[in-house]
Chain A
Amino acid sequence: MSATLSRQRKRIADPAFRWFVTLAGASVFVILAGMVIRTTNDAWPIFQYQGFFSFLTGDQWLAGSSRTDSDFTGTYGAWPFIYGTLVTALIAIVIALPLALCVAFYINQLAPKRLRNPLSYSVEMLAAVPSIIFGMWGFFWLLPNVLRPFLEWLESTFGWINLAGWKPFEGPVFGSSYLAAGIVLAIMILPIITAIVREVIAVNPVDQQHAAYALGATRFEVMRKVVLPSSFSGIVAASMLGLGRAVGETVAVMMLIGSTKSWDGSLLSAGDSMAAHIAARFGEATPETTKALMAIGVVLFLFTMIINIGARLLVWRIGRVSGDAAV
């Protein structure tokens, strides 16, 4: 009676399955590396020609017409597009995050019980609406009816503000502008942030909330001192997802930002963002310009990476202090 515990039947599926999932896992790295290497490689001559630093900071963008990897004729300063991306994404997140927290809090704590599910389904449905819809609605309805009067009011009320040479609300008002694009982006990323924050809040342990109530906390205090701190990493993750969508958003921004290459710091003037500029120009681009657009893509990729790493660090640092369970 020996060897009764040894393998009694052949298993083919096991090793095959293991290989398959290993391959699937490895493909993530292969795709990522392939993308980074290929785009960086294509963009490299432009960085060499222009210099990486002057590519980031220059505010002149003049497309060239060279057909080879040398003899470039253009000037490539991507700062106007970088500024456009940063400013629109920042406006979007600054507006959307507090609103998302409020909506999520309302759905979770204050809304009548029978309204909660319909509300959260609606939010999730909104999160799935394609950005072109937001862009069209923003351009054809929101811009003339709401945004333009609002921008004009901003200009007439705060136009005088001058922060060390930067006049954020200086006219003239065209309608299409950084601020208009930023506001539509905010509306666009609001549902996805809300949906995630709502779920994060919903799984917050009820017994800890009860403990706080039993100490005399009000609903608001329970939210602020118990639910929000322990949901911190989830809220950061939701914001990053929203910010990532805002930074990379192409179509909606293209329709609302005005697409000019000139750079003017005022939030009310038209400009362009990295993603919108690439999308608008690559169809008609010369081989030289294609490389320059690739270079913008590399910078855009770098930005999203920095944002993600920054978020990780933030969660890690604050999580250590607040005892966040997810860290």
Chain B
Amino acid sequence: MSVFDVQGLGVAYGSFTAVKDISLEIPRNKVTALIGPSGCGKSTVLRCLNRMNDLMDATVSGKIIYNGEDIYGPEVDAAEVRRRIGMVFQRPNPFPKSIYENVAFGPRLNGFKGDLDQLVEESLRSVALWDEVKDKLDDPGTALSGGQQQRLCIARAIAVQPDVLLMDEPCSALDPIATLKIEDLIRQLESSYSIVIVTHNMQQAARVSEMTAFFSVDIDDEHGMRTGALVEYDTTEKIFNNPGNTRTEDYISGRFG
């Protein structure tokens, strides 16, 4: 049972083709990792999954079927897509508001009618931040440590009760201990959400994901064009222990990238 069915996805920024011809099925309630060297388009693909690429003037071709509906279809409201498919960014980006208001921002935006205090508490509990911040909910979110800020951002994302969480290198700005906490958290969240994570860190992909997609850069020597492409997509175990493609093997074993 897949949550996304990506069919022949291509993305261009102006005349520059970032990725082309990507097809993959992303399973529901599992963690899927997108790995690959810089410039391979893994973040570009991730940003297509909730139409964040719209904000960067990208031209998207192909289809992304989410729950049977093409999210790039003509009738689709991008804001609604993003409400269902949450996103956590590379650098922790809490709003310059209180911890409470950071988590309450999304629910308020979407007209949440229930017990907001309870929702904030639940969201903070599910990222294991509640005990650390319950006495200072009115403090600014920006005053927390980097790892805490990132967990706050995850709490903010899940407070709107999305279906999918996209994570764009969520640990790249964090220290190893904070990284481990986020990884633990990702594994816990897996039962409730479908998670797609982009990471530079291969060990991280191996630790947290069930499925791994390896992207690489195709270089067209004639025109000097560099285009991202999906090389191999399989279970994480297979990708890391018995890759079917020599480029994957070279990357995994550290021979390039």
Contacts and interface: CB of A to CB of B under 8 A. Distances in A.
B97 A214 contact: no
Contacts of B3: none
Contacts, number: 69
Question: Which residue, A213, A221, A226, has most C-beta atoms of chain B within 10 A?
Answer: A213
Question: Which residue, A211, A213, A230, has most C-beta atoms of chain B within 10 A?
Answer: A211
A213 B55 contact: yes
B82 A214 contact: yes
Interface string B146-189: 00000001001100100000000000000000000000000000
Nearest to A209: B55
A284 interface: no
Interface string B235-251: 00000000000000000
Given A211-B93, A211-B156, A225-B105, A216 B80 contact: yes
A69 to B, nearest CB: 57
B179 to A, nearest CB: 20
B105 A215 contact: yes
A214 B165 CA distance: 10
B119 to A, nearest CB: 14
B140 A323 contact: yes
Nearest to A207: B93
Contacts of B52: 210, 213-214
A217 interface: yes
Contacts of B97: 322-323
A215 B93 contact: no
A71 to B, nearest CB: 62
A218 B79 contact: yes
Interface stretch (B67-75, B83-91, B124-132): B83-91
Interface in A6-21: none
Given A214-B52, A215-B106, A113 B96 contact: no
B98 to A, nearest CB: 7
B16 interface: no
Interface in B58-82: 79-80, 82
A9 B66 CA distance: 73
A206 B205 CA distance: 28
B50 interface: yes
Contacts of B89: 207, 210-211, 214
Contacts of A230: 95-96
B109 interface: yes
Contact of B91 (A207, A214, A226): A207
Interface string A41-57: 00000000000000000
B57 interface: yes
Contacts of B84: 216
Contacts of B110: 215-216
A212 interface: yes
B156 to A, nearest CB: 7
Contact of A214 (B95, B98, B157): B157
A144 interface: no
Interface in A103-138: 113
Contacts of A28: none
Nearest to A214: B87
B95 to A, nearest CB: 6
A205 interface: yes
A264 interface: no
Nearest to A324: B96
Interface string B108-138: 0110000000000000000000000000000
Contact of B83 (A113, A208, A215, A226): A215
Contacts of A217: 79, 109
Contacts of B80: 216
Contacts of A325: 96
B106 A208 contact: no
Contacts of B142: 323
Contact of A211 (B50, B83, B95, B98): B95
Interface of A: 113, 205, 207-208, 210-218, 221, 225-226, 230, 322-325
16 contacts: A208-B93, A210-B93, A211-B89, A211-B94, A211-B153, A211-B156, A213-B52, A214-B86, A215-B109, A216-B83, A216-B106, A216-B109, A216-B110, A221-B109, A230-B95, A325-B96
Interface of B: 50, 52, 55, 57, 79-80, 82-84, 86-87, 89, 91, 93-98, 105-106, 109-110, 140, 142, 153, 156-157, 160
Considering the complex of A and B, which 8 residue pairs feature the smallest CB-CB distances, nearest first? Answer: A216-B83, A215-B106, A214-B87, A207-B93, A323-B96, A211-B93, A216-B82, A218-B79
Given A210-B89, A212-B105, A218-B79, 17 more contacts: A205-B93, A207-B91, A208-B93, A208-B95, A210-B52, A210-B93, A212-B95, A213-B52, A213-B55, A213-B79, A214-B50, A214-B86, A214-B87, A215-B160, A216-B160, A230-B96, A325-B96
